[in-house]
Amino acid sequence: MYVLTLIVEREATSLDPALVGRVREALGGGEPRVLSAGEAVDLPLVAMPSREAVAAALGGTAVDAIAQPTAGRRKQLLLADMDSTIVTTETLDELAAYAGLKEEIAAITRRSMNGEIDFREALRERVAMLKGLALSALEATWERTEYMQGARELIATMRAHGATTALVSGGFTFFTGRVAAELGFHHHRSNVLLHDGERLTGEVAEPILDRDAKLSSLRELAAGLGIGLAATAAVGDGANDLAMLRAAGLGVAFRAKPVVAAEARAELRHAGLRGVLFAQGYRAEEISA
């Protein structure tokens, strides 16, 4: 009735069969089902294990574990955050480097992503600091932006199996539009940086896409597809992602801030975004490049 998926970062380590055996014995699991040799395995369970029991069985190893009901694992809708999730950086912080303000703005970003300050006010404050920055800085920032390991495979695989994918970010359309086009997202939603044709005005268009808007997007897109929230997945790292992570059938905190990791029902701390596929029961041979 339940399944515990064990996942490692394949570039860093290999899943130890002896560890799988110990976890199986500690939790009373059934015969392991290999999803990807040395990378991911399913353990069937008769009861939902507690976080504490799973953590004790893993013994501090660099292994991610996601427990959930077996039924309905494969989701029909995915919502993904962009910064520090689909791409490796916070694009606003990287943009600020061209104004000589990266450290100052990154400090505000960290507090916002940890839920210490209001996201909307923090966004307005950071954008105001960039007033007068040439639009060429946006292009330069984009050229240095890299995708998170497994991002391309995650979107390609879910699309190949009929799922709808949406990039929903507190960042900016300049970046989400390009990421969506390159990776194949069906939809993208984010904030709009205002400019005069040459330089940023220091303003962001209203309304600002925040945590409430991310949750609303999840509900709206699910309703449009005629599916319940149980058939959805979401992945993100910051406090503004937490509402959609809680609401989604599979809400994955990805290398997340402490406040998010503590409250999300599923977490990937070590593995890349392929882990979101393994959590849905995809096998390695089903993953699209």
How does pLDDT run across 71-89, given as a tens digit for each residue? 999 999 999 999 999 999 9
Distance CA 106, CA 108 (A): 5
> What one-letter code names the amino acid at 17?
P
Q: Exposed, middle or buried by CB within 10 Å (0-12, 13-18, 19+), for 139?
A: exposed
Among 83, 93, 237, 241, the active-site one is 83
How does pLDDT run across 94-111, given as a tens digit for each residue? 999 999 999 999 999 999
Among 42, 81, 93, 241, the active-site one is 81
Phi, psi of 9 (to 5 degrees): -80, 110
pTM for the full model?
0.96
Distance CA 104, CA 81 (A): 23
Q: Is the pLDDT of residue 289 over 90?
A: no
CATH of domain 1-71: 3.30.70.260
* Arithmetic mean of pLDDT, 230-236: 98
Strands 164-172 and 77-80: parallel
CB 98 within 8 A of CB 140: yes
CB 23 within 8 A of CB 41: no
How does pLDDT run across 152-188, given as a tens digit for each residue? 999 999 999 999 999 999 999 999 999 999 999 999 9
* Average per-residue pLDDT for the chain: 97
Distance CA 189, CA 187 (A): 7
User: Which H helix or E strand runs over 79?
Assistant: strand 77-80
What share of the chain in percent tops pLDDT 90? 98
CB 155 within 8 A of CB 185: yes
Q: Is 81 a catalytic residue?
A: yes
